[in-house]
Amino acid sequence: MESSQYTKIRISKEQRYPTLNIKAKRRKGSKQTNEQRQSLPPHGNPFKEVSGLEMDSQLRDFLKGNIQGILPHLSEERTEDLIDFLKSKGVKKQRDLRRLTCDVLEGHLNDMVDACDLFDEWQKVYGEGGPSTSRGSGLQSRLANNFQQQPVPTPNMPTFDKDSPYMPASVKEACIQRKRASSSGRNQMVERIVDRCREVVPGLQRSMFNDVALSLVLAYPDTFKDTILVSKHGSDSLAKQLRDKFDNDKRPKNSTQMEKEAPSNKEAYGCIRWNSTLPDSETEDSQEEKRQSLVDMHMLSKKEWDWKIIKKHSEESFFLQMKDINGP
DNA sequence: CAACACGACTATCGTAATCC
DNA sequence: GGATTACGATAGTCGTGTTG
C-alpha cells in the first residue's frame, strides 16, 4: 500500500521524455533553470561580519541585538540567559549560529516557535552555503552527530531536518532508525513543509521545492530517497510531492461553488451565446475574401507574413470563424 | 548568422485515485 | 461522498545544436 503509493508518483523521465538522449543529457550541466534565469536579489547578509567579534563584549552586543530583533517579546533576562547558553555551546562568531538546531534551541527556550524562528533566521543568514570561519570548532563537532549528513540549505528557503518542529514524530523516528517514512507521516511532513515555506518565503515557486527535497534526501536517504531511481539524486518523488501539494493548495477550496460562478467552457468560448448577426460593415463575400487572404498568407513563408493584415483580418472575420464553428 | 529543431524543464489544469 | 492527493496532458520558455 505504502510502497505502491510512492512508486505511483515516480514518473520515469524516459517515459515522459521518450526521446531523451545522451547528447541532451550532456548539455544538462550547462543548462540554466528557470529560477536561475530569474534575477533573484542577492542573498545579502544583513548582519555584517565584524572582525574581532570574538571579543566577549562585541559578541554579546551583537547577539543581544540579533536575538531581540528576531524575538522582540523575549525579556532582557531571558535574552542574557540565551546568550550565555549560546556561548556555552561554543558560539564564538556570528556564523557559529548556523550550527544550532531547533532541537538544541528548543531544549533551552522551551518554546518550539521561538526556537524555530531563531533557527530559520540563522539558517537564512548563515546557512551552510557560506564559508565557515570556524570549521572544526568544538561546537561543530558537538553538533555533528545531530545529522547523518548536513542538510543542504537553499538560499531564502528554510532548512528542514529531523529535529525541525515541522517533522512529524513518526518521520523523525524513521530518520533516526534509517527506515522508510510512513505514507501518512510523509504526507504530514510535506504539508507542514509547504505551509512553512509559503509562510516565510515571499514569491515562493514550486521549483524551489526541488532543493528542499534534495536536501532531505541527502540527509536521510534511507527515509526519503526514491526506491526506483529516476535521477541520480533520487529526490524526484519527494520534490514532486511537495510541488503537487503546493499546486493543489492553490486551488479553490469550494470547487462546486466555483463551477456555479464560472461559465461553462462552451459559453466561455461563445459557442452557445454566439450572436449570429453579420456586422453591418460586412457581407458574406467580404468575410470570405478575408478568410481567403489569411489562407493565402499561410501558404507563404513566415518571413513574408504581414502581421498587421493577419491581425486585422482575423479580427474582422470573427463572424465567419464563429459561423464555421457553430454551423449555420 | 538567422532560422529552425529538439530537448529539458516549468506551470497549470482536468480528473482519476485515494483517503477519511 | 466530499476532500485531498497524485497523474498526465498541454502550453510555454530557454538553451543548444544543426542547417541553409
Give the Cα separation of A49 and A59 in Å (integer): 11
Per-residue confidence (pLDDT) for residue A230, from 0 to 100? 62
> Please, what are the averages of pLDDT over each run of 10 residues along chain A (328 residues)?
31 31 28 31 27 51 78 80 76 67 71 69 54 27 31 58 79 83 77 78 73 80 73 74 77 45 37 59 85 73 64 74 62
The whole-number Å distance from A39's CA to B15's C1' is 36
Per-residue confidence (pLDDT) for residue A116, from 0 to 100? 65
The residue count of chain A comes to 328
Q: Which amino acid is at A305?
A: W
Per-residue confidence (pLDDT) for residue A298, from 0 to 100? 66
DSSP A254-300: -HHHHHHHSPPHHHHTTSSS---PPPTT--HHHHHHHHHHHHHHHHS
Cβ contact A7:A227 at 8 Å:
yes
Instruction: Identify which of A241, A193, A198, A238 has the alpha carbon closest to the alpha carbon of residue A214.
Output: A238
Which residues fall inside 7 Å of strand B, measured at CB? A 1, 4-5, 8, 13, 17, 19-21, 24-25, 27-28, 31, 33-35, 183-184, 187, 205-207, 210, 243, 247, 250, 301-303
Closest nucleotide (C1' vs CA) to A22 is B7
The protein residue nearest nucleotide B12, judged by CA to C1', is: A247
Bases of strand B lying below 7 A from some protein CB: 3-4, 6-13, 18-20
